[in-house]
Chains A and B, each alone.
Chain A
Amino acid sequence: MNLLDALLMSRKMKFEDGSITLYGESVAILPLEGFIMYASKIASDKSTTKILYSTMRNSMLEQRNKLNAESKDNDPSGWICDSINLYGFGKMRYEKPLSSQNRTMILECSPFVKILKGKSSAPVDHIVRGALAGIASIATGQELHALETDCAVSGRENCRFILDSKEKLVNEFRELCEMQI
Chain B
Amino acid sequence: MFSVSKQVAIEEGAITLNKQPVAIFPISFLGDYIINIKGDLNEGRRLYESVKKGMIEFSVSLGEEYQLTSRIFLDRWIKYCGFAGWGTVSYKIVEEGNCGILSIAELPLHKYLRDKGVKVPSDPLFEGFIAGSASGTFKTDIDVIETECICSGRDICVYYWGPKEYLKEKFPDRYEKLFGETQ
Residues of A within 8 A of B (CB): 2, 4, 15, 17-20, 22, 25-38, 41-42, 48, 51-52, 55-56, 58-60, 62-63, 84-92, 108-109, 111, 114, 127, 130
Contact = CB atoms under 8 A, between A and B. Distances in A.
Nearest to B112: A26
Nearest to B47: A38
Given A18-B85, A38-B50, A91-B13, A31 B21 contact: yes
Contacts of A89: 13, 23
20 contacts: A15-B5, A25-B28, A26-B27, A30-B84, A31-B55, A32-B54, A33-B53, A34-B52, A34-B132, A35-B54, A38-B51, A59-B28, A60-B26, A63-B28, A85-B12, A90-B14, A109-B14, A111-B14, A111-B21, A114-B21
Given A18-B86, A56-B29, A33 B23 contact: no
Contact of A38 (B46, B57, B109): B46
Interface in B46-71: 46-47, 50-55, 57-58
B32 A55 contact: yes
Contact of B55 (A34, A55, A62): A34
A63 B50 CA distance: 28
A29 B17 contact: yes
A33 B60 CA distance: 12
B147 interface: no
A23 B46 CA distance: 32
Interface residues of B, number: 51
A36 to B, nearest CB: 7
Given A27-B27, A111-B21, 9 more contacts: A18-B88, A22-B26, A26-B26, A34-B50, A35-B50, A37-B53, A41-B46, A88-B23, A109-B14
B31 to A, nearest CB: 9
Given A42-B46, A88-B15, A30 B33 contact: no
B88 A31 contact: no
B51 A29 contact: no
Q: Which 6 A-B pairs have the closest CB atoms?
A: A34-B54, A91-B13, A33-B54, A34-B51, A28-B85, A88-B23
Interface string B88-110: 11000000000000000110110
B140 interface: no
Nearest to A22: B24
A31 B24 CA distance: 9
B30 interface: yes
Contacts of B54: 31-38
A38 B120 CA distance: 24
- Most chain B beta carbons < 10 A, residue from A20, A28, A56, A111: A28
B47 A33 contact: no
Given A109-B14, A111-B14, A29 B82 contact: no
- Most chain B beta carbons < 10 A, residue from A15, A19, A22, A89: A19
Contacts of A56: 29
A15 B13 contact: no
Interface string B27-42: 1111011001100000
Contact of A59 (B29, B47, B111): B29
A41 B54 CA distance: 12
B25 interface: yes
